Amino acid sequence: MSERGQIYDITVPIRPGMVVYQGDPDVRLVRTASIEQGDVANVSRLDFGVHTGTHIDAPVHFIDGAGAADALPLDALIGVAQVVDATHFTAHLDAAAIASLGIPEGTKRVLFKTKNSQLWSQDSFSVDFVALTEDAARALIDRHIRLVGIDYMSIAPKEDPAPTHLRLLEAGVIIVEGLDLRTVEAGAYELICLPLHVVGSDGAPACAVLRDSR
């Protein structure tokens, strides 16, 4: 049982050796200056892809010439979000699944907690993750959703990622991927999701927290 005012960090930690989307750059953290070696301070270099861990997809990720990560509207990234329990689905979520989940009318931000949450305990990328189909994306657009998040590395099926991304991004829906919702119950929360201000980028790592205001 969650407590009123409790804050949940739903960000996946960035670390060397972490799971990344198949084909994406690995994470490398290297100490470039060291007090132990006589330097005045410890300084590290961090190399990783912009779609690593918890991150936001910018429109230009799938639409050439569209807006980049630095143009994302912050008002859509902060506000009431509905965490929806979809853990009983083993297949991708389609429009019928969306209709069955009881998303409250007027919801503007929805985060899908699926069976994917258990994949964060694995050491390698899994192709067997639940995603949203194109008609699920259309169903969310019809509900005037402004932000959609999911608990693994892609909102779309690996076998055909473009249609879902395109429908959402063309409609101005913000996509948040790589959320860790294992400790979060279904319900309404205040979402604060702040991406790095990476100019011109097709994605941006983000820190995301939920605050229970019920």
pLDDT(111) > 80: yes
Give the pLDDT score at 3. 63
Question: How much of the chain exceeds pLDDT 90, in percent?
Answer: 96
d(CA 134, CA 140): 10
Judge contact between 33 and 42, C-beta under 8 A: yes
Average pLDDT in the 191-214 region?
95
Give the pLDDT score at 96. 98
Judge contact between 211 and 93, C-beta under 8 A: no
pLDDT(1) > 60: no
Give the pLDDT score at 5. 87
How many CA atoms lie less than 13 Å away from 16 in the CB half-sphere? 8
Residue spans of the domains in the chain: they are 7-12+50-211
Digit-coded pLDDT (tens) for 15-67: 999 999 999 999 999 999 999 999 999 999 999 999 999 999 999 999 999 99
Q: Which residues contact 136 (CB under 8 A, 6 or more apart)?
A: 92, 93, 94, 95, 97, 98, 164
Average pLDDT in the 102-110 region?
97
| Active-site annotation holder among 51, 55, 61, 165 | 61
Known active-site residue 61: yes
Q: Which residues pair with 111 in a beta bridge?
A: 83, 149
| Range 7-12+50-211 classified under CATH 3.50.30.50 | yes
pLDDT(4) > 60: yes
Average pLDDT in the 205-210 region?
98
Give the pLDDT score at 214. 65
pLDDT(151) > 60: yes
